Every structure is written in structure tokens, then in C-alpha cells.
């Protein structure tokens, strides 16, 4: 399973590292995902959620 948010679908982005001498090498950016217990249809379920979704309140954490 890759590093992606199960709420918003945010996943890995690809691009280039660009050095001072303008050489390019491939790199990736991964979202900051956390394994948390969230409420889904009234039940606690463990999901991989990005911190943006946690902070904005898109998911409700289970206690």
C-alpha cells in the first residue's frame, strides 16, 4: 500500500531536484500521512489520513 490519504486521495508527487549547477535528478514528495483511528459510519476504523485532513476536521477521531 502506497503513501496516500484515504480521505482526500492525496498521494505521491514527482518532480526534479535541481542543483545549483542546474543538474536535474528525479525525486518524490510524499504527503504527511498518519495512521489514526477515525469514526466511519459510527464505527472506529484505522485509516491512513494526511495531516491536512486531520487539521481541517474532515475526519472525526475515535476515542
Domain spans, the chain: 1-63
Task: Write the CB contacts of 54 (distance below 8 Å, at least 6 apart in sequence).
Answer: 34, 36, 61
Tell the residue number behind the cell numbers 510524499, with chain if given.
30
pLDDT at 63: 82
Q: Cα–chain-centroid distance for residue 48? A: 7
The pLDDT value recorded for residue 1 is 56
pLDDT digits (tens, 9 = 90+) for 10-63: 999 999 999 999 999 999 999 999 999 999 999 999 999 999 999 999 999 998
Residue 25's H or E segment, with its range, is strand 24-29
pLDDT confidence of residue 20: 98
Residue 9 has pLDDT above 80, yes or no: yes
For the entire predicted model, the pTM comes to 0.78
CATH class of the domain at 1-63:
mainly beta
Amino acid at each position: 500500500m502506497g503513501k496516500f490519504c484515504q480521505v482526500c486521495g492525496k498521494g505521491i508527487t514527482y518532480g526534479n531536484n535541481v542543483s545549483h549547477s542546474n543538474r536535474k535528478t528525479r525525486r518524490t514528495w510524499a504527503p504527511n500521512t498518519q495512521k489514526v483511528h477515525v469514526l466511519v459510519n459510527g464505527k472506529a476504523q484505522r485509516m491512513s489520513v494526511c495531516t491536512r485532513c486531520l487539521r481541517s476536521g474532515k475526519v472525526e477521531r475515535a476515542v
